Amino acid sequence: MISEQMIKRIPASNSSIFTGPGTNSYLIGKDDLTLVDPGPKIKKHLENLEKLAEGKIKRILVTHTHRDHSPGAKVLGERLGVPLMGRLLKKDDSLQDKTFQPDQVLSHGDLIKTNEYTIEVVHTPGHASNHLCYLVQEEETMLTGDHIMNGSTVVIAPPDGDMQDYLDSLELLREYQFSRIGPGHGDFLNNPMEAVNWIIDHRIGRENKVLEKLSLISPATIEALVKEVYDDVDKNLHPIALWSLEAHLLKLKNDGRALFDSSDNTWVIKP
């Protein structure tokens, strides 16, 4: 049974082309509170989280260490004297929040139990190798960070982002029972499996389009290819789309379906 009072969504005021309306922070519980993704180090946002929590935050979880999700954790953790929980990357990719240091490293399948609720940890690499989703079991709600967003697909940026991992992690969510998604950006989604299936179909469709366009214009640089593969996207977004396109190409290379020529930085269909 979902209770609107048990999980509160509090967006930060950091709206942008990457973050949509802003990064969502979540407060779980009534008297024994868990804070998920404190967000960026924005003074008013962190003060608002403290005010809403009324001194009841017992632990802070982060979905991943991108700079719009975790920097507030160190600030609030020290101020409130509560443990930080999450994962670090094995190898820094320069996009991470280096201030986050977990007191407890979380692993897939870990359970965080309170008298009010149970949170199950689901490791979902793809957008980031250390990405975690959190299933609030009693509330049938999966908090998905940047694994699933409302209103936009997520960027998969190599080398830490990995398209095959991302697709595998989406498939993994199908094994869980939940009736609502609390995304990292945007409002709750009440049709979770429809959302999961749409993203999988969208990514596979984009991969097929990469192959289609590559067969027409190869050998092609990634800069030339993005204009063809993302011709349905505002060209001002093509510099961002390059990251996900690279992730698609690397997956196709690993699948033995495309080849990269480092001598002139071009891609071709594998014969």
Q: Residue 79: give its domain's CATH number.
A: 3.60.15.10
The torsion angles phi and psi of 116, rounded to 5 degrees, stand at -105, -30
Asked if residue 260 and residue 184 are part of one domain, the reply reads no
Give the tens place of pLDDT for each residue, 161-206.
999 999 999 999 999 999 999 999 999 999 999 999 999 999 999 9
Give the tens place of pLDDT for each residue, 255-269.
999 999 999 999 999
Helices (H) and strands (E) counted in the chain, each on its own, are 6, 13
Give the tens place of pLDDT for each residue, 119-149.
999 999 999 999 999 999 999 999 999 999 9
Give the tens place of pLDDT for each residue, 25-45.
999 999 999 999 999 999 999
Q: Is 1 exposed, middle or buried (0-12, 13-18, 19+ CB in 10 A)?
A: exposed
Give kind and range of the element (H or E) at residue 24.
strand 24-28
* Total residue length of the chain: 271
Looking at the chain, the whole-number percentage of residues with pLDDT higher than 70 is 99
* CATH code assigned at 224: 1.10.10.10
The alpha-carbon radius of gyration of the chain (Å, integer) is: 19
Asked if residue 118 and residue 85 are part of one domain, the reply reads yes
Range of the domain at 227: 203-269
Q: How many domains does the chain have?
A: 2
Q: Is residue 240 part of a domain?
A: yes
Asked if residue 83 and residue 16 are part of one domain, the reply reads yes
Integer angstrom CA distances of residue 39 from 13, 61, 268: 10, 11, 41
Q: Tell me, letter by letter, the H, E, C secondary structure of 44-73.
A: HHHHHHHHHHCCCEEEEECCCCECCCCHHH
Q: Is residue 1 part of a domain?
A: no
